[in-house]
Amino acid sequence: MSGASTNIAVNGDRLWATIMETAEIGATPKGGIKRLTLTDLDREVRDWFRATCQAAGCTVTIDDMGNMFARRPGRDSTLPPIAMGSHLDTQPTGGKFDGVIGVLSGLEVIRTLNDLKVETNAPLEVVNWTNEEGSRFAPAMLCSGVFAGVFDRAYADSRTDREGKRFGDELERIGYRGSEPCGGHRLGAHFEVHIEQGPILEAEGKTIGIVTGVQGMRWFEVTVIGREGHAGSTPMPLRQDAMLAAARMIQAVNAIALRHAPLGVGTVGLVECQPNSRNVIPGSVFFTIDFRHPDDATVAAMEQEMRSAVAEIATSTGVEASVELVWDSPAVRFDPQCIAAVARAAEASGYPAREIVSGPGHDSAYIARVAPTSMIFVPCEGGLSHNELETMEYGHVVAGANVLLRAVLETDQRFAERARAG
Ligand SMILES: [Zn+2]
């Protein structure tokens, strides 16, 4: 970065005011936002975003999944743009910051560069990815997924909401089926500021999370079959108690997660017992397992440990047990140079920071497949998100945008040097 830009910083008051301005679109009485994908409110915030970016000198293009790209030209139009993306849709009981700060911090970076008359080498783009939340149309991260080739367009178009309305029809109804084919838009890099949605940064007094990736996750369903019997007349040694076996298996899941702590986590969150009667020895139990770890090999090891524990417990308790893998979401590792750019940006700005792996999924998890990517996490008060009471400190919102600004400018310098080196 040149000497002139060493003390560069965004206009925090303008960023905060813009966040509060968009929070009026779909505002709920409890102070949150309900702005579901492809509703009239989504159209309203999109219209606002387009007009505001155009007023900041950007050209706005839209792809055929409704993803919006607001481009500020650079000196060298042959360089792929450096993108700053997230989402403007919300959960039915969403907060004011989830997704929104990623898009509006990008807008604030562009406004700041305009104010300071700083021209970048590469073009910059602010991106609004369609349907990140997945609460109206499942799955989540649908259109960053199409962009990255994870889902095809016909699949996305065919998704329906609870009333049977199709994604493709609703996209056309609100007028946001663009002409650019989704995924045809090259990105040089992608940075996403996002609220942490967890308690770690706040607990450690850190302002910035340097996100190194998104953890791997596997979901299992376990069915345990024992034998029903009378609770009063069946002697203990003769029982095949499915609940007892399941209880030991649940303890094993916990023990496995603790062996791989602090990064490994394991949860049994759903249990069903048959016949669920107080004087009948349980005949069958169904339960789920959620294992997560940033390293896929460790997730695989946790699975193996769990499978052998389940088999051993089944044998020792005289029941039968089956384990089915129902979802496998591999870990994502972000780009080392983008991660380093975020780390240096945090340090140069003087914000306390730590590396962190994202627990939830984000658009960046898919975009990382097609462009060098990393994320910037900012603290979430009380770890509360996907909740109308989600709150952030003013200083933390501004910090995220400042780190984004510096990371983008450093990446721009790097791309320019690379282009000069040929
Ligand atoms: Zn989000």
Q: Do 123 and 81 form a contact (C-beta atoms < 8 A)?
A: yes
Distance 239 CA to ligand 1 centre (A): 49
| Measured distance CA(132)–CA(91) in Å, rounded | 10
Q: How far is the CA of 72 from the centre of ligand 1 (A)?
A: 24
Give residue 363 CA to ligand 1 midpoint distance, Å: 8
DSSP state of 278: T
Amino acid at 333: R
CA distance 241 to 280: 10
Q: Report CA(99)–ligand 1 centroid distance (Å).
A: 4
9 Cα to the center of ligand 1, angstroms: 24
Alpha-helical runs (H) found in 222-284: 242-259
Query: Can you give the pLDDT at residue 327?
Result: 81
Q: For residue 145, which of 115, 118, 183, 117 has the smallest C-alpha distance?
A: 183
Q: How far is the CA of 95 from the centre of ligand 1 (A)?
A: 10
Rg (CA), the chain: 24
pLDDT along the chain (422 residues), means of 10: 65 98 96 97 98 98 98 96 98 95 98 98 98 91 96 96 96 97 96 96 97 93 97 96 98 98 93 97 97 95 98 98 90 97 97 94 95 98 89 96 98 94 82
Query: CA end-to-end span of the chain, whole Å?
Result: 20
Residues forming a β-bridge with 78: none
Quote the ligand 1 centre to 218 CA distance (angstroms): 21
Q: How far is the CA of 238 from the centre of ligand 1 (A)?
A: 52
CA atoms of 217 and 253, how far apart (whole Å): 14
Burial status of residue 336 (CB atoms within 10 A of its CB: 0-12, 13-18, 19 or more): exposed
Instruction: Name which of 269, 304, 305, 272 is nearest 289 in CA terms.
Output: 269
Cα of 194 to ligand 1 centre, how many Å?
7
Residues within 5 A (CB) of ion ligand 1: 98-99
**Measured in angstroms, how far is the CA atom of residue 277 from the centroid of ligand 1?**
42
Q: Is 146 helix (H, G, I), strand (E, B) or coil?
A: helix
Q: From the CA of 368, how far away is ligand 1's center (Å)?
A: 16
Cβ atoms of residues 141 and 151 within 8 Å: no
**For the chain, how many helices (H) and strands (E)?**
12, 16
Instruction: Measure 23 CA to ligand 1 centroid, in angstroms.
Output: 15
Say what the pTM is. 0.86
| Distance between Cα 273 and ligand 1 center (Å) | 35
The whole-angstrom distance between residue 231's C-alpha and the CA centroid of its chain comes to 48
Ligand 1 geometric centre to CA of 375 (Å): 12
Three-state DSSP state, 344: helix
Question: Ligand 1 mean position to 79 CA, how many Å?
Answer: 28
Cα three-residue angle 292-297-303, rounded to 5 degrees = 60
Longest dimension (CA), the chain: 86
Distance 139 CA to ligand 1 centre (A): 14
What was the pLDDT predicted at 5? 52
Q: How far is the CA of 192 from the centre of ligand 1 (A)?
A: 10
Gap from CA of 290 to ligand 1 centroid (Å):
21
40 Cα–ligand 1 center, Å: 20
Q: What's the gap in Å between 380 CA and the centre of ligand 1?
A: 12
Residue 383 alpha carbon to ligand 1 centre in Å? 14
Give the pairing type, strands 353-358 and 208-214: parallel
Strands, E, within 75-174: which ranges? 82-86, 124-128
